[in-house]
Structure 1
C-alpha cells in the first residue's frame, strides 16, 4: 500500500518529522510518501493561514496525482485544510488527521478533549467538530499556547506546556481521552498516555491506521487511482 501524506505548510523539517512518525505507525508493507508545497505559510495557525495554504496544497496534489498512483491520501494538518475539496477530486480515501483523531477519541471513551497550539486555531477546530457531527463528544478544545513551529525549535518547553494543558483538561473537562491537535505533536502520544494514565491520541497515527483499513476494503478498481477534476 502506498499512502501520500501532504503537509499543507511549507516547512520541510516538520514534514520530515511527521513522515517519520507516520512510518512508525504504518504496517510493514505500507509506503509513506511525504510532501509539502514549496511555498505558502510556514505554519497553519488559524483560518487565514489555512486559506493561504490552499493554492500550494491543491497544486501539489494535482501534480502528484497526475504522475503517481496512491491508495490513500493524508492531509497532515489538524485543521484538515482543504479536505473537502480534495475528497471531491480523488477516487481514493482522503483522510484529515483532525477527523481521524476525533474518530479515535470517540471510540476511546464517552468524551474527549483536544489540546492544540494557539487560541487562534480553536474556532477552526470547533467548526470542524460541528461539521463532522462530533461536537457533543468533545468536552473542550484547549489551546496550549505553543506556536506550531516551536514544536520543532523548542521541543522540550513545548512538551511541558502541552503536558500542563492535558493536566488541566483531565482536572476540569470530565473527559476520558485526549486528542493532540497538531501534526507537529506527532510522537508525543505514547509518553503522554504513560504520564497521565489515559488514552492520548496522535492524529497522524490515527490517520495512517484509518487509511490502511479503509483503502484495503475498497474494490480493486477504486484503489491505486486518483484523478483531478
Structure 2
C-alpha cells in the first residue's frame, strides 16, 4: 500500500452522519477484488442521477449538482470532512478502496465504525478522530473559505489549519508505523519470508505426509 507521511490537501465537507458502506460503495460494485477502479463509483447513488452498474463508463453519466464532491470548489479534494459514525454498516473493504482510488487520503470525523476504521489503515487511508466541536469548526471554516486546505503530519500526529492552529490526534503506534512505511498485512508477513520458508522446509522433513 502507499505510505502516508504528510499531506497538504483540499478539504471537502460531507455533512451527513451515519454514512454507511453501502452509500460509500453500493453493493453491485463488490464483484471485483482488484482494489482499483472503484473511484468512479464512490458514493454512486449520491453522485449520479441514474443507476450505476459495474463496468459502466461514468464520464457521460448525469451528475447530481447538489452533491458536494460534484461541486467545482471541491474537485481534487484529498481530505474528506465527515460526521459521526462514518463507515458504519457492512465490513466491506471495498469502501476504503473506493475512497482511496477516488483520490482521498485522509478522513476527519468525530467517530468511525470500528471495522471501517481499521480497513482504512490497512489500505493507506488515514482516518482522524477529532472532537465534535473541532469538526464543527472545520465544517464552518471549509464552508466560509473556498479552497480551504489542511496540512496533515502523521509523524507529528497533528492537523494544521490555514491559521497555523495545530490540532492533535491519536493513533495506535504500531498502526502509525505501518502507515508511515506503507506496510499492509501482506508486507508485514513478507518481512519474515526467510523464516517462513525455513519453517516450511523443516516441517516438510518432519511431517512429509502432510505434503503428499
Same fold (TM over 0.5): no
Q: Which has the larger radius of gyration?
A: 2
Tell me the TM-score normalised to structure 1 length: 0.27
Tell me the TM-score normalised to structure 2 length: 0.28
More helix by share: 1
